[in-house]
Structure 1
Amino acid sequence: MNNLDEKRIMDIIFDDIGSEEKSITGIQKSLEKKGLNIHRLVLTGYLRALTEMGMINEKEIKPAKIYSIIKRNDKDIYSMVGEVARMDDEEESGNNALLLLYSLFDRPVFMRELEKCNVSQPRDYKIVTSSYRSEYIKKLDEAGLKIPKSNQLIEPQNIDRLKLISLLKNFIFQQYDLKKYCVSNNNQQRLD
């Protein structure tokens, strides 16, 4: 298998399918034209994995299976984090969003980013300075988020690992339907 510009195979498949519906044969031929020779069984495995992860649809039109990309909602990271932060606890939504963004981005967070999450003002934070501040602002500007030069850069005062795990779990559950992989724990408890 040749490494086409170091792109991940998943990204190449997504680019290939685009907004169309394609069969395995159609995808394989298209990839071969791009110089990527993937054995049919390997491609079938990738497509099955992407289907199980809820990233592409598979429908059977005999004798072939047809694949298409599942359209995700066009929410940005901030609206998704805001939803999870508010869902957990409306009053603590600012602290929750700060904890999530800080952990996901592995950097301090600008107050403007929390405003984009549409959450309450965080209470449990410390103001920080960073030698990377101008680089953060530039990167966010490239992503379409304007950060005022005077905007505070903050970090969570305390990191509650159990809270973080709960928030990350909710964040992942919001993006993927994982119920099919879980067993509900509806056992009745007996009173002794």
Structure 2
Amino acid sequence: MRHLATFVAAVVLGPATWVLVALGQGRSLTVFDTAPNADLPSAGDPLAAFVFIAVAGMLLGVVGTLRLSPLGATLIGLGYLGSAVAAVFAPGRVINLLDHTLRIGGYDANLATPVRTGSAALLGSLLVVAVVSAKRWRQWPEAPADETPKPEDTPIPLGDLQRDTELVGAAGLTAQDRPQWETSWQSRR
């Protein structure tokens, strides 16, 4: 079940993150290309670029670092790395394939931007390294069978009855004292 969940997450988050990176880097390139000609960029331009890239990083961080199935991180990482490697051997084809501009909320995102800037290779490598991390494959520690508390050693919660010095010892009631406690409490009602 966890493999299916991370597969669905990869199918949704991989392309969404790609678009966010394209939006953020495209916006950032536009802002800093025009910065020498302007005294001060408008306040929303660098902030929008930062938000897009930060959200993309958070989305990939969820897939890459949490103790989920590594399937999602593997799929996204290999997809991003594959696009970067393909661009090394056939840059014209990859750019032609990805060179589409989306307009989202007044911002333009050229889908080839992550390949052009090298972000696809960087992010893909990070996700693949997260998959091969030894800690990711370890199981959560389980309590050894001999250290589990026995029912007679478990204190009974007392709430307001802690004032009753006749029934409460220094460590509280144990399961052995239950019949006495129940009898005493019922007789007071």
TM-score normalised by the chain length of structure 2: 0.23
Report which of the two has the higher share of helix.
Answer: 2
Report which of the two has the higher share of strand.
Answer: 1
Higher relative contact order, structure no. (Cα contacts within 8 Å, ≥ 6 residues apart): 2
Return the index of the structure with the highest Cα Rg. 2
